[in-house]
Amino acid sequence: MKLKIVTSNPGKAAEFREGLNHLGIEVEHCSIAYDEVQTSELEEVVIKGMEALRSKGLSNFIIDDTGLFIDALKDFPGVWSAYVQKTIGNKGILKLMENEENRKAEFRTCIGCDMDGETLTVTGVCKGSITQSEQGTEGFGYDPIFTHDGKRTFAEISLEEKNEVSHRGKGIRLLVEKLESFRSAETERN
């Protein structure tokens, strides 16, 4: 099986490649621009993105939409994570979290997959907390300020280790399970 991963983010593409190759699925990275709607649900962003890509004639592809949900900030930046990363960035988040004792946060990622015109979606979640300062140089986005184990940030662990515990890694494994049951149901039908 071969799937196209549509993203302009090389970090995401590398995580999908590692996670899916590991499970025997070949990945081709495509950087096709499409309109991302701004709504309050990650899944809605993904479904609309999939419709936009299908209207460009694309099939058998994956996209994801991810957000960082911070408890003390009432789930901000959430679905606005891309805008917030581009504007105030990690330093801005740390500033908003100054003197805040409750540092609980979670990453959520909704992955959408087009498989022969069918829509499959899954959501992966990773619970953790926001650190007091930026640490590490690996990964991308909010990785330097997010820790899943209270010891190291996602920017201080390898891509392979991040995939074992992260929202995206969990989402990838859920998707592969779904794809396998979809394919065996398809084989039974034919």
- Which of residues 9 and 123 has its CB atom nearest to ligand IMP in the complex? 9
In the bound complex, what is the minimum distance in angstroms from residue 82's beta carbon to ligand IMP?
Answer: 4
Given a contact cutoff of 8 angstroms between Cβ atoms, the answer to whether 163 and 109 are in contact is: no
Q: Which of 65, 114, 116, 143 is catalytic?
A: 65
Q: Which amino acid is at 1?
A: M
Nearer Cβ to ligand IMP (109/179): 109
Q: Which residues bind ligand IMP (CB under 6 A)?
A: 9, 64-66, 81-82, 85, 139-143, 154, 166, 168
- Amino acid identity at 87: T
Nearer to ligand IMP, 114 or 163 (CB): 163
Nearest-approach distance from CB 181 to ligand IMP, in angstroms = 26
Instruction: Report, in Å, the least distance between residue 98 CB and ligand IMP.
Output: 21
Q: Contact at 8 Å (CB) between 97 and 104?
A: no
Report DSSP state, residue 73.
G
Cβ at position 21, least distance to ligand IMP in Å: 18
Sign of CA dihedral 36, 140, 5, 119: negative
Nearest Cα neighbor of 7 from 32, 44, 41, 35 is 32
Query: Is the CB of residue 54 less than 8 Å from the CB of residue 114?
Result: yes
Q: Is 65 labeled as catalytic in the residue annotation?
A: yes
Of 168 and 170, which has the nearer Cβ to ligand IMP?
168
Q: Catalogue the active-site residues.
A: 65
